[in-house]
Structure 1
Amino acid sequence: MLRILAIVLLVLATSPATAGAWMREKGSGYSSITISTTLSRDFSESTYLEFGVRDDLTLGAEVAFYAFSNGVQSGSAMVFLRRPIGGDDRPSVYAYELGFGAGWSGDIVRPYIRGGLSWGRGYQLKRLNGWMAVDASLFIDTYYGEHLLKIDSTIGLNFNDRFAGMIQIFHAATSDISATSIAPSILFKPIKSRPEFRLQIGTETQIGNTDNSAFKISFWRDF
């Protein structure tokens, strides 16, 4: 049970702000580094990268590390591809992802594969524009035979060219345990330059476990 709980918490803590169903244009990319620390002094760090090989093919990679305050350490590494579903001439966009990697918790290493479906849509709120997204993925542990379902929901709103707000809900569940977190955050561009940098500052609170609330800071870069 402790091993399963560590896996669920790791997946929640290292949820990056990804493009979801939106593809990267050919030759363009995105990277982020996210650092999180909880009130109980748990710590996580994740590095995320995606690149548009073609307009209909995005490749990506993610490396994450988690250190519990009791000394237990976990981590994961994954590579993946994203392809669109249908055309891009509709208000809503869809995509699927396939990935493989490995995770570890203490001295236990577990290879896994991941399949995902994403939906995204832009919207207008008076003169402001925003976006909505739902990303669902299934992790299959190829060694232990365990499954983990993860659903991330996002709604964001651009206040102006430099500031935006975002609320995310992360849910992860196995056959034995589940956890849900709410993560509000503010995005802003600290400098006007290219390549474009953005800074995300926010909190994340696990429902039913507010003692493990976290402060998160993330550095985004488009290139």
Structure 2
Amino acid sequence: MRLLLLALLWTLCTGTVQAGAWPREKGHGFLSSAVRLSWPQNIDHWTSLSPTQQYYTAYLEYGLTDRVTLGFDFGRSVSGSGKTVGFLQWPLRNKDKGPKIAFALGLGRIGEQTVLRPGVSLGWGLKKGWLTMDALAEFQTNTGLADYKMDITWGRNLAKDRKLIVQIQTGQPADDPGFVRLAPSFVTPLGKRGVMIETGATYGLTGDTSMGLKFGIWKNF
């Protein structure tokens, strides 16, 4: 799986050329925060109703120019360690027809390690939604070890500004087996200030025996 993700990342980097596929406009931004709770899929392994894992994430994007987006990613990495990563992203292909493609380069900390994080994003605007593929690698600068991650996301715009999202999450930590996880969610507006609430679930398909819930909040500004 590691070789598959690395091959995909290499193909995208040497192909048509793009961080979040759609760049942020200058002076505009996006902020999100979420909590994820998980339990074993096998209920016989439960010792209480309390989640066996819980973690929090925060994510920020801001358009420095119409082409360059500044971002910060806080939370938990593919390996499970805490992370703080800052990054810059810019479009490689930003035409009206065909895929949007963006490249991002980040630097930060995961656990006790300094990491360099290149990534690519592809995005297609659909008639009533969107489709994206996001791949990244997190290289430890002192050991050379790397974690790989790729998410495929399908989104559908619904009435009253609501959204349905289905995501396939895949990862290959440096020291653990790879995993594939299904993560559907539903997004709905909260009031009239552009705040969105996301509620969803996660279920490990392979390499992950957990299931969980996700609660998040979005804000465009």
Aligned AA for 2:204?
Answer: Q
Distance 1:38 1:203 in 2: 9
Change (3 A) 1:201 1:54: same
Deviation of 1:65 after TM superposition, in Å, equals 5.0
Match of 1:51, SS state, is strand
1:57 maps onto 2:68 in alignment: yes
Counterpart residue number, 1:123 = 126
Does the Cα contact within 8 Å between 2:93 and 2:99 map onto a contact in 1? no
Distance 2:74 2:96 in 1: 33
Q: What's the TM-score once normalised by structure 1's chain length? A: 0.80
Conserved 8 A contact 1:202-1:217: yes
SS of the counterpart of 2:144?
Answer: coil
Q: Per-residue CA shift, 1:101-147, capped at 9, x if unaligned? A: 1111xxxx1111010111001112xxxx1100001111111122211
Q: How many residues are matched?
A: 189
Separation (CA, whole Å) in 2 of partners of 1:181 and 1:197: 27
The reply on whether 1:110 has 2:113 as its aligned counterpart is yes
Shift of 1:169: 0.7
Task: Tell me, in whole angstroms, the C-alpha distance in 2 between the residues paired with 1:87 and 1:22.
Answer: 8
After the TM superposition, which residues 33-44 of structure 1 pair with which residues of structure 2 at under 5 Å, given as runs?
33-39=33-39, 40-44=51-55
Equivalent pair of 2:180/2:207 in contact (CA under 8 Å)? no
Which stretches in structure 2 are left out of the alignment for 5+ residues?
1-18, 40-50
Within the candidate set 172, 197, 200, 2:198 is matched to 200
| 1:148 corresponds to | 147
Which residue in 1 is equivalent to 2:11? none
TM-score, length-normalised on structure 2?
A: 0.80
3-state SS of 1:161 partner: helix
State whether residues 119 and 135 of structure 2, in contact with CA within 8 Å, keep that contact through their aligned partners in structure 1: yes
The secondary structure found in structure 1 opposite 2:115 is: strand
8 Å contact kept, 1:20–1:134: no
Q: Deviations over 1:5-45 (max 9, x none)?
A: xxxxxxxxxxxxxx720100111000000101111520110
Equivalence for 2:159: 160
Describe the SS at the equivalent of 2:160. Answer: coil
Hey, what's the Cα distance between the residues in 2 that align with 1:158 and 1:183? 17
Amino acid at match of 1:188: T
Q: Percent same amino acid among aligned pairs?
A: 29
Confirm or deny: 8 A CA contact 1:146 1:174 kept in the other structure. Answer: no
The answer to whether residue 105 in structure 2 is matched with residue 81 in structure 1 is no
Aligned structure 1 segments of 4 or more residues deviating by more than 4 angstroms: none
Quick check: 1:21–1:120 contact (8 Å CA) kept in 2? yes
> Which amino acid is 2:60 matched to?
L
| Structure 1 residue 175 displacement after superposition | 5.4
Aligned to 1:46: 57
Matches within 5 A, 1:175-194: 177-191=177-191, 193-194=192-193
- Answer with 110-119 or 166-175: which moved more: 166-175
Q: Which runs of no fewer than 5 residues in structure 1 stay unpaired?
A: 1-18, 67-72
CA distance in 2, matches of 1:210, 1:80: 28
Q: Aligned partners of 1:87, 1:133: CA distance in 2, in Å? A: 14
Q: 1:155-214, CA deviations, whole angstroms, 9 ceiling, x for partnerless residues?
A: 0101113211000011111455201111000010021x23x1101100011114675111
Contact 2:115 2:140 in 1 (8 A): yes
Distance in structure 1 (CA, Å) of the matches to 2:199 and 2:219: 15
Correspondence 1:218 to 2:213: no
Q: What secondary structure is seen at the aligned counterpart in 1 of 2:190?
A: coil
- The residue identity in structure 2 corresponding to 1:202 is G
Of Structure 1 and Structure 2, which has the larger fraction of its residues in strand? 1
